[in-house]
A and B are shown apart, each in its own frame.
Chain A
Amino acid sequence: AQTVTQSQPEMSVQEAETVTLSCTYDTSESDYYLFWYKQPPSRQMILVIRQEAYKQQNATENRFSVNFQKAAKSFSLKISDSQLGDAAMYFCALLFMNRDDKIIFGKGTRLHILP
């Protein structure tokens, strides 16, 4: 079975500091995408970053970057220079190419930003 595991239900970080959210997944497929989504209090799902499994280079989007370890099936999100607006629930997600395209979500990590 395909699973996505986020082992940290909640995390806190001081404003302007760096925080890393963990995610591991289990799959026997070779072609897939990994995502981090942010869900703020408004509950609108926002795509933070995307990683194609065939790419070795880690994706980066401004203050957000990932550490993708394919062999270890690990996909962590690093947020640099944390801002108050980063406070949200973060979901790690997995999507298989050419296979019904359903996204499998982890249970989420609630991130608190301390001023």
Chain B
Amino acid sequence: GAVVSQHPSWVICKSGTSVKIECRSLDFQATTMFWYRQFPKQSLMLMATSNEGSKATYEQGVEKDKFLINHASLTLSTLTVTSAHPEDSSFYICSAATGGSLYEQYFGPGTRLTVT
């Protein structure tokens, strides 16, 4: 149980285009999802916290208009990178938490974004 999927696992897009990454909790309902960014050989950096049915809370320094997060249902959150640039190339990881015990966070396998 407690599986989180991400789609796509790898995406290449051209500079200036937008790309959407999906995060799904497959066998549980996630009231809260988190989006992280990880650069090569570095730690995970929290970008935003997403609660179902409400606006995401972004960390300081993360551009809200560039990284659009939608948590439309208890099993799905999406991250859209708008007008992508090469510096947005990174590994994006989501995690999902159950409402009862938020210390149970389950991580997705990540999405590698390459902007050319």
Contacts and interface: CB of A to CB of B under 8 A. Distances in A.
Interface of A: 33, 37, 42-46, 50, 91, 95, 97, 100-103, 105-108
Interface of B is mostly: strand
B109 A42 contact: yes
Contacts of A37: 107
B43 A107 contact: yes
Given A43-B109, A45-B93, A101-B97, A50 B44 contact: no
Closest 9 CB pairs of A and B: A45-B107, A101-B102, A105-B43, A33-B103, A107-B43, A44-B109, A43-B110, A105-B44, A108-B43
Given A45-B93, A101-B97, A103-B105, A91 B43 contact: yes
B32 interface: yes
Contacts of A102: 34, 46, 49
6 contacts: A43-B93, A43-B110, A100-B49, A101-B102, A102-B34, A102-B49
